[in-house]
Amino acid sequence: MPLETLQLAVSPGSRDGLKILTLKGSLSIHTIFDFQGAIRTESAPALVVDMTAVPFVDSAGLGAMVGAVVTLQKAGRKIAFAGMNEKNMALVNMSHLSQVVRNFATVQDAESAVS
């Protein structure tokens, strides 16, 4: 079985102090460490996590997402997720975490939410 990989890219957002973290690949027990590392090293006051190219999130990935929210909120920073597919949103909703892991349809909608 091939090892899962998660590609991460950080780019500037539509305004100063806003960064976009784009993920490509599954967010799972095999890839969460890269995601967590990216969250720790990014220092922007506001962060949008673009999950448009994330086909699958497992429970460990969901835990990492919640951890990211808690970490940024404790630091007085803002975070929002964008572009989650129906399957990934179902996991968030089934876990009753939709108030914690805020997902927006587009990166632009998420950028507006963290303004």
What domains are defined for the chain? 8-113 (3.30.750.24)
**What pLDDT score does 2 carry?**
55
Q: Which two tokens stand for residue 4?
A: 């899962």
* Low-confidence spans in the chain with pLDDT less than 70: 1-3
Burial of 99 (0-12, 13-18, 19+ CB in 10 A): exposed
The helix/strand/coil state of 66 is helix
The helix/strand/coil state of 51 is strand
Q: Which two tokens stand for residue 47?
A: 């962060």
**What pLDDT score does 1 carry?**
44
Q: Which two tokens stand for residue 13?
A: 């957002």
- Are 36 and 60 a contacting pair, CB within 8 Å? no
Tell me if the pTM is above 0.85. yes
User: Based on C-alpha coordinates, what's the Rg of the chain?
Assistant: 13
**What pLDDT score does 105 carry?**
97
